[in-house]
Amino acid sequence: MADRKSEQNDVLSKPKEVITSFDPPKPAKMNKYAFACAMLASMTSVLLGYDIGVMSGAQKYIQKDLHFSDGQIEILVGILNLYSLVGSAMAGRTSDWIGRRYTIVLALAIFFVGAILMGFATNYAFLMIGRFVAGIGVGYALMIAPVYTAEVSPASARGFLTSFPEVFINAGILLGYVSNYAFSKLPKHLSWRFMLGVGGVPSIFLALGVLGMPESPRWLVMQGRLGDAKVVLDKTSDSLEESKLRLIDIKEAAGIPEDCNEDIVKVSKQSHGEGIWKELLVHPTPTVRHILMAAVGIHFFQQASGIDAVVLYSPRIFEKAGIHKDTPQLLATIAVGFVKTLFILVATFLLDKIGRRPLLLTSVAGMIVSLMSLGVALTIIDHSDHKITWAIALCIATVLSYVAFFSIGMGPITWVYSSEIFPLRLRAQGCSLAVAMNRVVSGTIGMTFLSLYKAISIGGAFFLFAGVALMGFVFFYTLFPETQGKNLEEVEQVFGTFFRWRSRQAELNMKKEAAQK
């Protein structure tokens, strides 16, 4: 009788097991610890964003107060990006030496000093010294924030979390625009000083917060601190199984045997950076060459398509469009910052759902249409002797659509993509090269835009940017593999075949399917 009841219980329990097996798997919840670490590290990007935003308005008050020429102003505005090359060039080696976390603190301290110097400047040379110091801090922050975030993020949310630096760049730009409006009513000799000097205040609080973050697990493994790395990976992974797999991948990339489970191990000298520049630039493998081309290329096209011309000189663009008073110009500029920030927030939620390629290609296509339309509207206004309301409205609309399309793809994906495609040993130096390209092109655009539009007309300048964006679309379509959902150590497998990356991707997918069977 008992046996019969047991059989009946077994029979009754079977349907429940079958039903359970058909339940859809629950999506992994966001890892709150990794989220907090990524957000705090990425907040350092506010520094660059604030400087870009605040200089768009402060330049007018600086020019009125200190009587600088247009040539001096465009150099002053754009030179910070070239100065940041010093910081980004040093950041790779510094972050391998003292760690990602302390490199972020160093970036914040340097920028704080630069902001104070700019706020107290009394002449052009003094201002340039402040720009130089602040530029070094910006260079450090730009390189290290996406690297740290990529290294601490689980694969399931890496696109979302690694897009945070771009989110905070946009937030900083918006804060800079608001600062311009808030301090514009002060006397001209005080307004721009407050605009520039206030930017150093957040650095103090951010530095204190960063000291409470964990170190990057990949950097810890490079130092042989496997026990500490395991603790961080357990906290920042979606599961303990993923943590173990991430640790195995990182150990393999660092040249540590998989069966080595000691808390402290000796790492070969090669893992500390010797020969990396030679491997990147002198004797790169096809895979490294493809990765370097993709990383440097996307940073080039991000800036060469004219984003800094729009963000840095939006008051002048609106003035050319027919808006001549300061207050409406600044309010229109705030609208640009608001739209830019809003759409970057939308992009962060789409990166890990839609993928990098679809967002990037859609973004660039929208930028091309917006730039062409803006060029047409500005050309019509430039050749008209009376006010054309619809053309002014079109200028405002196309500026807003341009920054919206930029923010939904090209803006965040540049940082996400370049920080996730380099192998561990080459990541810090590789990213520093990509950021260097970003800053060179950004600085060149910032320092030449006023001269450019005087030479070929302001409409012609935006037609030129549209042509560059079109070349970028072709470059991305042909050479950029999808990296969505791949572990950092798996990403490099799809590189090295250049234009034939699609067949390589199909081959890897077939192997993965066969292994799962």
* Nearest partner of 302 among 427, 166, 432, judged by Cα: 166
Same domain, 493 and 397: yes
Q: What is the average pLDDT across 487-493?
A: 70
Q: Which amino acid does the sequence have at 249?
A: D
**Which CATH number belongs to the domain containing residue 445 in this structure?**
1.20.1250.20
Enclosing domain of residue 333: 271-511
* Nearest partner of 58 among 305, 314, 339, judged by Cα: 314
Q: Is pLDDT above 50 for 502?
A: yes
Same domain, 275 and 263: no
CA distance 445 to 466: 14
Say if CB 192 and CB 180 are below 8 A apart.
no
Same domain, 282 and 240: no
pLDDT digits (tens, 9 = 90+) for 336-369: 989 998 998 888 888 778 888 999 999 999 999 9
**pLDDT for the residue 16:** 43
Q: Assess if residue 5 is contained within a domain.
A: no
Same domain, 146 and 293: no
Instruction: For the chain, give the percent of residues with pLDDT over 70.
Output: 91
**Sign of the C-alpha dihedral, residues 290, 275, 487, 103?**
negative
Q: Assess if residue 10 is contained within a domain.
A: no
**pLDDT for the residue 363:** 96
**pLDDT for the residue 21:** 42
CA distance 336 to 348: 19
**pLDDT for the residue 42:** 86
Say if CB 333 and CB 56 are below 8 A apart.
yes
Q: Is pLDDT above 80 for 5?
A: no
Say if CB 142 and CB 47 are below 8 A apart.
no
Q: Find all residues with CB under 8 Å of 403, minimum gap 6, and list them.
A: 307, 310, 311, 336, 339, 340, 343
Q: Is pLDDT above 60 for 26?
A: no
pLDDT digits (tens, 9 = 90+) for 456-466: 999 999 999 99
pLDDT digits (tens, 9 = 90+) for 291-326: 999 999 999 999 999 998 998 888 888 988 888 787
CA distance 446 to 314: 12
* Nearest partner of 437 among 77, 164, 88, 42, judged by Cα: 88
Same domain, 96 and 192: yes
CA distance 507 to 204: 50
Given 226, 247, 268, which residue is the final one in a domain? 268
Q: Assess if residue 497 is contained within a domain.
A: yes
Residue matched to tokens 């808390």 = 263
Number of H helices, E strands in the chain: 25, 0
Distance from CA of residue 454 to its chain's centroid? 31
**Total-model pTM:** 0.76
Q: Is pLDDT above 70 for 23?
A: no
Same domain, 224 and 155: yes
Given 215, 241, 268, which residue is the final one in a domain? 268
Q: What is the average pLDDT across 181-194?
A: 89
**pLDDT for the residue 262:** 83
Same domain, 351 and 303: yes
pLDDT digits (tens, 9 = 90+) for 100-144: 999 999 999 999 999 999 999 999 999 999 999 999 998 898 888
Average predicted confidence (pLDDT) for the chain = 85
**Number of domains the chain is built from:** 2
Task: Among 134-143, 285-294, 467-476, name the most confident range.
Answer: 467-476
Same domain, 59 and 204: yes
Same domain, 257 and 275: no
Q: Assess if residue 93 is contained within a domain.
A: yes
Query: Residues for the chain: how many in total?
Result: 517
- CA distances in angstroms from 377 to 87, 316, 397, 404, 406, listed in the order given: 39, 15, 10, 18, 20
Same domain, 262 and 345: no
Q: Is pLDDT above 90 for 189?
A: no
Q: Assess if residue 18 is contained within a domain.
A: no
CA distance 328 to 331: 5
Given 212, 245, 268, which residue is the final one in a domain? 268
Same domain, 406 and 454: yes
Same domain, 441 and 390: yes
